[in-house]
Amino acid sequence: MTNSQAGERRGRILRAAVRERLLDPDDAPLAAFVDLDGVEDSVAALHKAFPASVEARHTFAAKANCLVPVLEELRTLGMGCEVASSGELAQALAAGFTPEQIVFDSPAKTRGDLRQALELGVAVNADNFQELARIDEILAARSSPSASAIGVRVNPQVGGGGIAAMSTATATSKFGIPLEDEGSRQRLVAAYRDRPWLTWVHAHVGSQGCPLELIARGIAKAVTFADEVNARCGRRQVTGIDIGGGLPVNFADDETAPGFDEYVACLRTHAPALFRGGYQVVTEFGRSLLAKNGFTAALVEYTKTSGGRRIAITHAGAQVAARTVFMPESWPLRITAHGPDGAAKHGEPVPQDIAGPCCFAGDLLARARPLPPLAPGDIVALLDTGAYYASTPFHYNSLPDPAVHGVRIGPDGRIHFRPLRRAETVQHILARTGG
């Protein structure tokens, strides 16, 4: 899909949403949309990128969009689910994933988390030696073996990318067992040798801001470590490698780049053993499957000028775009301007601050962004927000969570919406705040 085609598709969806009052000045000044046709295409591209010689199970990182109907859609497309909390595990189960389709990763699993996962047969990746000791205790107390595939997350320590907060394979990362620290590798090999049930290796280098070469080098070190374990144990101890996710997203325009095919090509160069059929493979992509298949739309409530700068006060701010508000250099968003009917606005662009509704001065989506002059009743669209943004709200000022709508365009060109999450009401807010 070209940039112009993607823009026209979004425009059609936005205009239809206004007509159906999914975006409305009185009742719905903020709403998010997930293009389910686009999600289907992205999942198909992921499956196609991996050759048949690789026994691959692709899981979706639930943190990227934890709405149960979204997870249900992904399940019907052949995805598994990666979870990082008991809440995400509950959401995955509610979405219909079977335990063997779920992988549980977290650096802070409780004993209760581990007991539940091992009882269900959910795959578990231990983060550290202390967690391995907890698993020893839980398994020893069971009357029968767990059906869970159990692995260890290793930190390949290959360095960071352009966003430090998204880089998980630095020398001092909080995630996993470091491979290069003195004595760590030997201790970990011994842990595999002494535990016949420890059969997986997991690695995740990072996501946004991490180049493919860095990701591939980290995975290559994990594969080398798996080979070493098998050689030193004298048996096929490690049978599978969870290579995480992390494909970065292009937020500059509508092109999907890099693609999953480029990612696989880079893996072939750096970790060719992964493609020889000796290991099962699990992936955990999230943002790269959902981000470009969604946008958020907000009404402009007021406009003003201060210090010679135009300011548009909208209903989208830190509550649905926390990363952009608090780390604008790392997470800039494209923003488009539309009239009250959803049609694109035209006119000579002028610098404007696009502000949100939260009660602090830094609640800005963009500073001095050149856009056609905005007026009350206009609409701004935040692009590439299908992952994380509205699906992971920040409850500042007790602002209500907006509705999230799934969208499909039928063969006849008709646009069909279905609710993925209904808008929160004041009663819902009171209920979750003890009222």
Q: Largest Cα–Cα distance in the chain?
A: 73
The pair phi, psi for residue 149, each rounded to 5°, is -80, 125
- Report the top-level CATH class of 3-35+291-432: mainly beta
Q: Specify the pLDDT at position 305.
A: 98
Please tell me if the domain spanning 3-35+291-432 has the same topology as the one spanning 37-290.
no
Residue with tokens 């999600």: 39
The CATH code of domain 37-290 reads: 3.20.20.10
Query: Of the candidates 118, 121, 188, 187, which has an alpha carbon nearest to the alpha carbon of residue 152?
Result: 188
- Other Cβ atoms closer than 10 A to 75: 18
> Which residue in this structure is represented by tokens 């709200």?
393
**Strand, helix or coil at 185?**
helix
Q: Which of 319, 302, 305, 309 is nearest to 363 (CA)?
A: 319
pLDDT by residue for the chain (435 residues), tens only, comes to: 677 789 999 999 999 999 999 999 999 999 999 999 999 999 999 999 999 999 999 999 999 999 999 999 999 999 999 999 999 999 999 999 999 999 999 999 999 999 999 999 999 999 999 999 999 999 999 999 999 999 999 999 999 999 998 889 899 999 999 999 999 999 999 999 999 999 999 999 999 999 999 999 999 999 999 999 999 999 999 999 999 999 999 999 999 999 999 999 999 999 999 999 999 999 999 999 999 999 999 999 999 999 999 999 999 999 999 999 999 999 999 999 999 999 999 999 999 999 999 999 999 999 999 999 999 999 999 999 999 999 999 999 999 999 999 999 999 999 999 999 999 999 999 999 999
Beta bridge partners of 351: 370
Global model pTM greater than 0.85: yes
Q: How far is CA 277 from the centre of its chain?
A: 28
Backbone angles phi, psi at 140, to 5 degrees: -65, -30
The answer to whether the beta carbons of residues 68 and 95 sit under 8 Å apart is yes
**For the chain, what is the radius of gyration of the CA atoms?**
23
Nearest Cα residue to 318 out of 361, 375, 353, 381: 361
Our separate counts of H helices and E strands in the chain read 12, 18
Do β-strands 150-155 and 123-126 pair in parallel, antiparallel, or remain unpaired? parallel
> For the chain, what are the domain ranges?
3-35+291-432, 37-290
Task: Say which DSSP state 33 is in.
Answer: E
Of 401, 389, 424, 400, the residue nearest 296 (C-alpha): 389
Q: Over the range 28-59, which residues count as b (16 or more CB within 10 Å of their CB) and which as e?
A: bbbbbbbbbebbbebbeebeebbeeeeebbbb
Residue 344 pLDDT = 97
